[in-house]
Amino acid sequence: MNTLKQIVDFVGIPQGSLASARYQYSEPWTMGLNNVNLLVTRGARPASMRNIIQMLQNLTPVTLEAEIVGSLSGEEPFEPKIRVNASGGITWFTTIEFSLLGVPNAPAYSHDVSNSGGDFTPTQLGPGRWYLSIVRSGISNSGFVSLRKQLGTINVSARPQPTPTPTPTPTPPVVINVSIEFGIGGLENRVLRITGSGFTPGEQVELQITTRVDSDNPSTGSPQTTTADNFGLIDFKQGVFCIVGRRTTFQVLAIDLFSSERSNVAGASC
């Protein structure tokens, strides 16, 4: 290596390696001149050809040692930790590459890391099976070098969705209906029928019945008691007397004696 052309050829990028050196659209000889220029301007003063030759001959090899540190699986967002060793020679770049396996047309990602080495967490990975590799290019005492190392795969699972809190089933309201039916005997003999729902199954229900004739003061007799069936329903009947020519009104309030739930006030007249 005695001439400028020999130096350019030495540090130039061989045909077929342009993509590895990130010079996809340049001529290797032109790139060789650029690389020589980098060597010439490394110091405060331009280096002489002799010094450049000596510098190239004294370069140490470009090496690539790296590994995934820590777990190879986890939940999103997963942060991989990559340990990269420093390299000799003149290193242009060191890049960690990520690609999603098994997904058609899935994009690939790359992240440049320091050429001086160290532990790096270059990105966060989403769900899927990720393939990791690392690439390093530079110039050693043997010329242009491009190295690639397979780091392995990392499996990332989706973050579990929180279990939705079940919506409590609303307790049906305690509701009653009151009607007056004809009884046996004269027109005055009637039957007060009280039906309802929403009561505690099998528990007792208190019925408070208030009677008013026309505008007289209302009277409330002793509370009546009935039992809800297995479905929380009641069907209570009681004979009452309706005065002919006057309006008699019955109002009923039901109380669930187990839950203390009170019903609406329902009424009927005859």
The domain total for the chain is 3
Kindly state whether residue 239 falls inside one of the protein's structural domains.
yes
Kindly state whether residue 201 falls inside one of the protein's structural domains.
yes
Whether residues 71 and 149 fall in one domain: yes
Whether residues 189 and 220 fall in one domain: yes
End-of-domain residue from the set 129, 157, 185: 157
Whether residues 180 and 264 fall in one domain: yes
Whether residues 188 and 264 fall in one domain: yes
Kindly state whether residue 163 falls inside one of the protein's structural domains.
no
Whether residues 181 and 231 fall in one domain: yes
pLDDT at 11: 67
Kindly state whether residue 179 falls inside one of the protein's structural domains.
yes
Whether residues 187 and 259 fall in one domain: yes
Whether residues 79 and 152 fall in one domain: yes
Whether residues 70 and 15 fall in one domain: no
Kindly state whether residue 44 falls inside one of the protein's structural domains.
no
Which of 22-26, 36-40, 162-166: highest mean pLDDT?
Answer: 162-166
pLDDT at 39: 61
pLDDT at 1: 60
76-129 confidence digits (pLDDT tens): 999 999 999 999 888 888 999 999 988 877 777 888 888 888 999 988 999 999
Least confident window among 162-171, 192-201, 236-245: 162-171
Q: How crowded is residue 152: how many other Cβ atoms within 10 Å of its Cβ?
A: 12
Domain that holds residue 121: 66-157
Whether residues 128 and 73 fall in one domain: yes
User: Taking the model in full, what pTM does it have?
Assistant: 0.54
Domain of 209, CATH number, reads 2.60.40.10
Whether residues 153 and 203 fall in one domain: no
Rounded Cα gap, residues 268 and 254, in angstroms: 15
35-81 confidence digits (pLDDT tens): 666 665 555 566 677 777 777 778 889 999 999 998 999 999 999 99
CA 110 to chain centre: 25
Residue with more model confidence, 168 or 113: 113
Residue with more model confidence, 32 or 75: 75
Kindly state whether residue 45 falls inside one of the protein's structural domains.
no
Whether residues 29 and 75 fall in one domain: no
pLDDT at 25: 53
pLDDT at 8: 66
Least confident window among 5-14, 36-45, 121-130, 233-242: 36-45
Kindly state whether residue 167 falls inside one of the protein's structural domains.
no
Whether residues 30 and 83 fall in one domain: no
Please spell the DSSP secondary structure of 81-103, one letter per residue.
EEEE---SSEEEEEEEEEEEETS
pLDDT at 26: 56
